[in-house]
């Protein structure tokens, strides 16, 4: 999101060759990270039989990290350590740090994950909690941050929000005996367009400043791949006295984020997409430190804190086992935790985060911008817009998108193109009626894979 990243990369004419793509790979400072992942083989993705990873088989081209990231190699070691802890010392795993284990004691595992995630989202460690799943966390955050009054009751949201977000917001409005038709405001693009301008969002904030209680937007729009200007939108909404939350499902581990510095009120994300923590993996949430304060000025037995749906695990560890039913919340996002989190899920999450601990989002983002720009260059080269059988509906500005490009095909083309990509061992996502979502991930994808995809995709369109 930094202005220094706003680069429109230019490529020479010879960039359309396979050799040029290989030269980009040879100079890639992050190339070694690919070896930290298990890339599914072409043989395995075509098989219906459970199989071990085909280490000697030709790998597929996996451009579906925007839906589910592939498995990091540390996952097996972290899971084995967790299972060995459980089998060897049982309940003692909650309180014992074992030598040679990559994991902290179970009671501290969520903090281990939160510390790593805080670097990915640009937050203080105490502003992040590893817990729950995306929609569950959104429900918990909305229960705390959506406080409608007779005059301020509306929630502003994206016109094409992921269904789960739409359902969550609708249910909270109804929970307060309000009508979603009156209290849910959808912000959409101009007619015939897909990108929602920041100015248009500002205009909706202005229009509803007196009756909006909250604005909840995706950091990156799942369908179009648009990256919203989180910093400016948050600042503008606050200037109009509107609370701001963000669904970072597609932005976590994809875009550079500075949630603390940008003064974001709250955010939630999943970790199984660009975070590579596994299907249905444990999610995360952010609560700005100003909302996580615990005030003991009225006495130790009368803490004052932001209302939330409380649970035992959100209580301070120093008194958690007193079992006196006097809730003393952990300061920060940790106080929003509900239940004892799954150590198995946390082991998978910590394994994935251990890979991110070896690099930075700035470096990953730099490569991602180049990968996606190269994909865009190859797709558009030697084709005229008027005759092109597809349209890139993702913003052209690298600062306004993440890794993903969404390709809108002309009617009737999707099924054949999807079939050809599958035959070639290319895994990407299709969305009816005509969109192919392609996401080259900087941790494990290569420029040569981008070149191969572009060739096969364009060949399929010409059949």
- Annotated binding-site residues for pyridoxal 5'-phosphate read 134-135, 162-165, 247, 250, 272, 312, 340
Cα distance between residue 385 and residue 417, in whole Å: 19
Cα distance between residue 73 and residue 52, in whole Å: 13
Output phi, psi for 130, to 5 deg: -95, 115
At 451, list the tokens.
């070149």
Cα distance between residue 117 and residue 317, in whole Å: 21
Decide: 128 and 285 in contact? Cβ < 8 Å. yes
Binding residues: 134-135, 162-165, 247, 250, 272, 312, 340
């Amino acid at each position: 999101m930094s202005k220094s990243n706003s680069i429109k990369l230019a490529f020479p004419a010879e960039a359309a060759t396979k050799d040029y793509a290989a030269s980009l790979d040879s100079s890639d400072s992050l190339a070694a990270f690919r070896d930290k992942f298990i890339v599914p083989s072409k043989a395995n993705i075509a098989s219906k039989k459970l199989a071990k990873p085909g280490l000697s088989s030709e790998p597929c081209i996996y451009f579906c990290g925007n839906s589910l990231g592939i498995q990091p190699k540390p996952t097996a070691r972290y899971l084995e350590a967790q299972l060995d802890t459980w089998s060897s010392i049982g309940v003692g795993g909650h309180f014992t740090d074992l030598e040679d284990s990559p994991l902290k004691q179970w009671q501290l595992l969520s903090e281990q994950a939160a510390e790593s995630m805080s670097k990915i989202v640009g937050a203080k460690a105490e502003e992040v909690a590893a817990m729950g799943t995306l929609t569950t966390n959104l429900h918990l955050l909305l229960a705390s941050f959506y406080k409608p009054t007779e005059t301020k009751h509306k929630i502003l949201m994206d016109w094409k929000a992921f269904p789960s977000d739409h359902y969550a917001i609708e249910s909270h409005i109804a929970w307060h005996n309000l009508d979603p038709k009156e209290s849910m405001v959808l912000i959409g693009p101009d007619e015939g367009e897909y990108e929602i301008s920041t100015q248009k969002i500002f205009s909706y904030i202005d229009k509803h400043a007196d009756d909006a209680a909250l604005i909840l937007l995706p950091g990156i729009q799942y369908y179009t791949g648009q990256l919203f200007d989180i910093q400016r939108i948050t600042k503008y909404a606050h200037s109009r006295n509107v609370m701001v939350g963000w669904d970072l499902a597609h932005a976590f581990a994809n875009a550079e984020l500075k949630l603390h510095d940008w003064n974001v009120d709250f955010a939630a994300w999943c970790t199984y997409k660009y975070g590579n923590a596994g299907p249905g993996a444990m999610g995360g949430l952010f609560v700005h430190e100003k909302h996580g304060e615990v005030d003991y000025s009225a006495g130790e037995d009368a803490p004052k804190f932001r209302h939330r749906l409380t649970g035992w695990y959100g209580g301070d560890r120093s008194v958690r086992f007193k079992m006196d039913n006097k809730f003393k919340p952990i300061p920060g996002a940790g106080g929003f935790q509900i239940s004892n989190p799954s150590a198995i899920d946390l082991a998978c999450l910590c394994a994935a985060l251990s890979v991110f601990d070896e690099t930075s989002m700035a470096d990953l983002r730099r490569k991602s911008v180049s990968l996606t720009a190269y994909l865009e260059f190859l797709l558009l080269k030697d084709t005229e817009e008027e005759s092109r059988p597809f349209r890139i509906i993702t913003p052209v500005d690298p600062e306004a998108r993440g890794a993903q490009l969404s390709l809108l095909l002309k009617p009737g083309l999707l099924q054949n193109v999807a079939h050809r990509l599958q035959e070639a061992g290319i895994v990407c996502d299709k969305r009816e009626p005509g969109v192919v979502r392609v996401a080259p991930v900087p941790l494990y994808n290569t420029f040569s894979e981008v070149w191969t995809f572009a060739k096969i995709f364009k060949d399929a369109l010409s059949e």
